[in-house]
Every structure is written in structure tokens, then in C-alpha cells.
Amino acid sequence: MNKKENKIYIQARNILDQYLDAHKYRKTSERYAILEEIYSRKDHFDVETFYIEMKNKGFKVSRATVYNTMELFSVCGLVKHKHFGDNLTFYEKAIGQQQHDHIICTDCGKVVEFSDPRIKEIQTTVSSLLSFEIKYHNLNLYASCRGCPIKPQ
């Protein structure tokens, strides 16, 4: 991790510490290992693949621990889960993330993040015109990726 990523990880770890203390949960090495793995990533991930990657790296975590920890992290605001249709649920870190949107391949499930300042401008215009205070937005575009390994050529 670089300095900025390490600072974000420390912030996430502090949030976890406070949450575990407040709810009288145990501070286990597995929870912290999972947190560090998540905050060293730059991509979206599904829980099953994440579990397999942790096992392949030699971590001693059970599938149930990974699934339960991901739910705990979601509740305390450390990860966000995104549903991209057809039972595709991916997670991403929640701390230190800038607003972004997603384009999802409907054939292979590939997810790509993008940001476009025009979306913020649209939000501002719509908010003003319709007298709403926009709290957040969620934009997912569904398409077929070029050169998709799943799509018949």
C-alpha cells in the first residue's frame, strides 16, 4: 500500500475497532486480515472469489468467516455491496472511494468503474428543477464488452 492507501486502511481499521468495541464483538485476527486484503484491492470482488484468493494466499479463514465478516463490514460501513443483476453481487471498499459509476458486461459480468463530471452537473440541474436534495446516486450501464470471452463471436 502507498501512503494514501495506508492512511485509508488505518481509518477503516479505526472504524472497525470502534464498531467491535461498541457492539462487544471480538477483535479477531481473521477480521483484520480480511479488512487488510479488501483495502489493498483496487477492484470489485465477489465473496466466493475473495475467499478462494485468501485461501490461495495461505490465510486460515473459513468460507463462513469470510461471508459473515463481509456482512459485518457492510453493516458498519467498511464495504459496499452492489447488485449488478442476474445474481451478480460485488463488493468494494467504502472508505476513501470517490463517487463513481459502473458499466457491466451482461455476458461475462466484467465490471468497470468510470467517473464523468457531467453526471454531477445533471444531478445539480435535476435537483434544482424538481426541488429535491439528492443524497446519492447509483448509475449502472449494461453492455457487452468488446472482445468478451463469453459472448459468441
Q: What is the pLDDT of residues 99-144, one digit of tens each?
A: 788 888 888 878 888 889 899 899 999 999 999 998 878 888 989 9
Strand partners, 9: none
* pLDDT attached to residue 42: 85
Q: Each residue of 36-51: pLDDT tens digit?
A: 999 999 888 889 999 9
CB 72 within 8 A of CB 28: no
Model confidence at 152, pLDDT cuts 50, 70, 90, reads low
* pLDDT attached to residue 86: 67
Q: Is the pLDDT of residue 153 over 60?
A: no
For residues 12 and 136, give the distance between their C-alpha atoms in angstroms, rounded to a whole number: 21
Structural domains of the chain, with CATH: 3-93 (1.10.10.10), 101-143 (3.30.1490.190)
Alpha carbon of 150 to those of 5, 76, 103: distances in Å? 34, 36, 16
Mean pLDDT value of segment 80-89 = 76
**Average per-residue pLDDT for the chain:** 89
Model confidence, pTM: 0.74
Q: Maximum Cα–Cα distance for the chain, whole Å?
A: 55
